[in-house]
Amino acid sequence: MIEQFRSLYGEDRQPRFYRAPGRVNLIGEHTDYNLGFVLPIALDMACYVACAPSSDGRIHVHSLDRREGFDFDVDLRNAIPRKNWTDYVIGVAQGLARRGVEIRPMNLALHSDVPEGSGLSSSAALEVSSAFAFLDGRDFDKLEIAKLCQQAEIEFVGMPCGIMDQYISVFGRKNRAIEIDCRSLQHRAVPLPENVAILAVNSMVKHELASSAYADRVNECRAAVDQIRRVHPQVASLRDAKVEYLDEAGLTGTLKKRARHIITENERVEQFLVASERGDLAEMGKLFVGSHRSMQFDYEITCEEIDFLVDAALSIDGVFGARMTGGGFGGCTVNLVEPEKAPAFERAIKQAYQARWGVDPPVFRCLPSEGAGQLPGRE
């Protein structure tokens, strides 16, 4: 990256580097924007930004992966989205500017090894690493970074996401999963049992409709809350609801199913943490499968390829549980596997998927890693 940065910008100075990781969510899917609980880990796959001051007064942003770059005026207050990948970067810079951070003329070069559209939060990694690069060492509250990156994605990119991905990219910890309470925005770092491997399998499916279907779910949850509140006025979000409330409020059909997923998923996060503390891998696996079935039948955010990956995994020796991770409609499954059986699992799942769908699904070992920060430079 240093060489590419130098030849791109005709520099011989050393750029500074910032890194922000992708994530895999262990359990608690679509609970974040319902102010509930999630349990992600930050990955060792990350987005890296090399940066240095520019000499022409402008901001230059170049993607080394896409081999394309764009430049921007430093006054981003009225910047409008270009409907491409730079929106994640510029939306964040605008968010910082609106919070009083001076945006300085800079050259940036980006490279990411978080696979795009895989449900591993390549966009949050891009946003958070960009925020760190624009701040370039200036002090700024970490929670505010996560919040403004989420806000950039909602307002500048137009995806009404929750806080999980940006939060874990900032606050990830090596060897720990992070339980986030999405109402208080506090978290606790929890160790996981050592005798389990966490493996993500990428279905390679990216659905075009994923972001509008995501927005539909956000709206359905709001509609469910409105209806529940007529009977239980204290319910401010589905976080506060109980399964009994659904019938009491006369919820039926789609809204009932959506709300039931969120309520039971929040319970599963808590149960998973208890099982994890006991080292009860069988129970953790069962909760994974419960979460998947709830996404499959109640929240209806899976797809055939993903359901296939889960069902196939469950028939492989040494697998405790499997579920889809992330926003849905494709992307990755996450699997809890006996460590000694991980290589055989990888071979078997690849073979099964290849035979059924004609695609070789990449498999990643997920190692809980540190959240965003500056990388030491190299002369």
What are the residues binding ligand GLA (CB under 6 A)?
25, 29-30, 32-33, 121, 161-162, 164-165, 326-327
| Smallest gap from residue 270 Cβ to ligand GLA (A) | 16
- Nearest distance from residue 59's CB to ligand GLA, in Å? 26
Nearer to ligand GLA, 50 or 164 (CB): 164
Catalytic residues: 165
Q: How many Cβ atoms sit within 10 Å of the Cβ of residue 162?
A: 23
**How many DSSP H helices and E strands does the chain contain?**
11, 13
Toward ligand GLA, which CB reaches closer, 161 or 352?
Answer: 161
In contact, 23 and 120? CB cutoff 8 Å: yes
User: Taking the complex as a whole, how short is the minimal distance between the CB of residue 32 and ligand GLA, in angstroms?
Assistant: 5
Closest CB to ligand GLA among residues 176, 261: 261
With H, G, I as helix, E, B as strand and everything else as coil, classify residue 111: strand
Give whichever of 33 and 85 is closer to ligand GLA, judged by the CB atom: 33
| Residue 52 or 334 having the CB closest to ligand GLA | 334
Closer to ligand GLA at the Cβ: 105 or 160? Answer: 160
Q: How far is the CB of 261 from ligand GLA (least distance, A)?
A: 11
**Closest listed residue to residue 241, CA positions, set 35, 74, 7:** 35
Token pair 């956000």 in the structure block, residue: 218
Closest approach, Cβ 26 to ligand GLA, in A, equals: 11
Give bridge partners of residue 68 from the DSSP assignment: 63
- The two tokens of residue 89 are 């970067």
Strand 363-365 versus strand 197-206 pairing type: antiparallel
| Shortest distance in whole angstroms from residue 127 CB to ligand GLA | 11
Closest CA to 209 of 117, 299, 292, 83: 117
Alpha-carbon distance 12 to 23, whole Å?
Answer: 34
* List of E strands, the chain: 16-25, 37-38, 40-53, 58-63, 68-73, 106-112, 177-181, 186-190, 197-206, 319-325, 330-337, 363-365, 373-375
- Distance of alpha carbon 11 from alpha carbon 18, whole angstroms: 18
Give Cα 157 distance to the centre of its chain.
15
